[in-house]
Amino acid sequence: DIQLTQSPSFLSASVGDRVTITCRASQGINTYLAWYQQKQGKAPKLLIYSASTLQNGVPSRFSGSGSGTEFTLTISSLQPEDFATYYCQQLDSSLLFTFGPGTKVAVK
Amino acid sequence: DVQLLESGGALLQPGGTLRLSCTASGFNFGSYAMSWVRQAPGKGLEWVSAITGSGATTYYADSVKARFTISRDNAKNTLFLQMNSLRAEDTALYFCAKSRVRLPSAFDSWGLGTLVTVSS
């Protein structure tokens, strides 16, 4: 089974900061990677799919990159509504999904 | 607008059975794969199961294989999760989620979840 790791698991940042979260896969997954944002008590929200495609309606300050085993989610200028937990998710060749453990972005 | 509404969550004892439902509206239900994703209290997301748009093919996480069964009724726009032999570690908020396309893919819409608690 393919495993995902995320780093850091926690980060504190200020409004306006550039934030980067890394997701690593235990095997190559091409670009079958998505990123989600989850706020406390809410359902997750799709931000990025196919590693770098921005979901409709998601602000352009969010971007994704990578392929194979290493991927990044970048928030170019952190906004107050962006404090949340972020998860990466992969879809393997057997059409089985795995989520990463999450990265919590908190106020510094 | 896409809407997904889960129901059927309950408190039950280990070894019990439960059937969750997810009623969909606002899109052509049969054209999209659907999944169940769960989140234990204070923990991360765990994908549970997926089903193709036609219902012909199903997929399961190892943790629930042979205990849970996913199904769908496209005529009633409803997704199901039959849960048997429940364990304490199945305690979680269960979300249904819509894939972007007919085959399993990234989840572009989610319900609010239904809570399953397994405890003696």
Name the A residues in 88-107 with CB < 8 Å from any B CB: 89, 91, 94-102
* Interchain proximity A99–B107, CB inside 8 Å: no
Per-residue pLDDT tens over the stretch A17-72:
999 999 999 999 999 999 999 999 999 999 999 999 999 999 999 999 999 999 99
For the range B25-33, what are the long-range contacts, defined as Cβ-Cβ under 8 Å and sequence gap of 24 or more? B25/B77, B26/B1, B26/B2, B27/B2, B27/B98, B27/B109, B29/B72, B29/B74, B29/B77, B30/B54, B30/B74, B31/B102, B32/B98, B32/B99, B32/B100, B32/B101, B32/B102, B33/B98, B33/B99, B33/B101, B33/B102, B33/B103, B33/B104, B33/B105
Rounded to the nearest angstrom, the minimum Cα separation between A31 and chain B is 12
Q: Does A30 touch chain B if contact means CB atoms closer than 8 Å?
A: no
pLDDT means per 10 residues, chain B with 120 residues, are 97 97 97 97 97 95 97 98 98 97 90 97
Tell whether the model's pLDDT for residue A94 goes beyond 90: no
pLDDT given for residue A86 in this prediction? 98
Contacts with A99 from chain B: Cβ below 8 Å: 37, 44-47
* Interchain proximity B113–A43, CB inside 8 Å: yes
Q: Does B50 touch chain A if contact means CB atoms closer than 8 Å?
A: yes
pLDDT given for residue B60 in this prediction? 96
Q: Does B10 touch chain A if contact means CB atoms closer than 8 Å?
A: no
pLDDT given for residue B13 in this prediction? 97
* Interchain proximity B35–A87, CB inside 8 Å: no
Strand-by-strand arrangement of the A70-75 sheet: A4-7, A19-25, A70-75, A62-67
pLDDT given for residue A1 in this prediction? 84
pLDDT given for residue B104 in this prediction? 81
Contacts with A45 from chain B: Cβ below 8 Å: 110
